[in-house]
């Protein structure tokens, strides 16, 4: 896959399984300065969570973790391997989780994104999410804390 982009291949989105956790952790550690722990991922295998993985040529290259609460979904984590970022895998995951939320009769998806994460912010914005607020000092940062933008996507008019 070195010469071709991940988007040149079929991206397979499927539910995350517990056996996927080691590969998910590897992507998480590569993609985040303050990665989730294995325990956090394992704790996400509950009935009110939806966990998705993105595969290209049998390689796990991204994932998403969504918590459902009544008729609202909270996108807790979406991460793509830095080696293939910008090639459409994150967008495919996002579109998949939005479609699944719609099928599950969810009316709104919310998320937080680091103020410094312009790529993710523009992805969410281009897919119809809008900023609805800000959470001061939400994320740990190399020098203290960083604010989060709160974004929402409505699945109903």
User: Which residues fall in the annotated binding site for acetyl-CoA?
Assistant: 117
Supply the DSSP symbol for 70.
T
Annotated catalytic, 112? yes
- Say if residues 14 and 55 touch (Cβ distance below 8 Å): yes
Active-site hit among 28, 112, 139, 146? 112
Where does 1-157 have alpha helices with state H?
21-31, 38-43, 89-103, 118-126
> Cβ atoms within 10 A of the Cβ of 113, count?
24
> 81 CB contacts (<8 Å, ≥6 apart)?
27, 30, 31, 61, 62
CA–CA dist 67, 64 (Å, integer): 10
Query: Choosing from 28, 124, 139, 146, which is the catalytic residue?
Result: 124
Helix (H) or strand (E) holding 51: strand 49-56
Burial class from Cβ neighbours inside 10 Å (0-12, 13-18, 19+) for residue 143 reads exposed
Is 58 labeled as catalytic in the residue annotation?
no
- State the binding site: 117
Q: Which residues are catalytic?
A: 112, 124
């Amino acid at each position: 896959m070195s010469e071709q982009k991940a988007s040149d291949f079929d991206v397979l989105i499927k539910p995350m399984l517990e056996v996927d956790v080691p590969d998910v952790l590897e992507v998480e550690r590569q993609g985040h300065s303050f990665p989730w722990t294995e325990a956090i991922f394992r704790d996400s295998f509950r009935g009110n969570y939806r966990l998705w993985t993105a595969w290209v040529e049998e390689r796990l290259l991204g994932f998403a973790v969504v918590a459902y609460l009544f008729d609202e979904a909270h996108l807790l984590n979406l991460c793509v391997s830095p080696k293939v970022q910008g090639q459409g895998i994150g967008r495919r995951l996002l579109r998949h989780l939005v479609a699944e939320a719609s099928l599950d009769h969810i009316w709104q998806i919310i998320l937080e994104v680091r103020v410094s994460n312009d790529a993710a912010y523009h992805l969410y914005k281009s897919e119809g999410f809008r900023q609805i607020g800000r959470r001061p000092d939400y994320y740990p940062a190399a020098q203290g804390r960083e604010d989060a933008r709160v974004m929402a996507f409505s699945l109903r008019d």
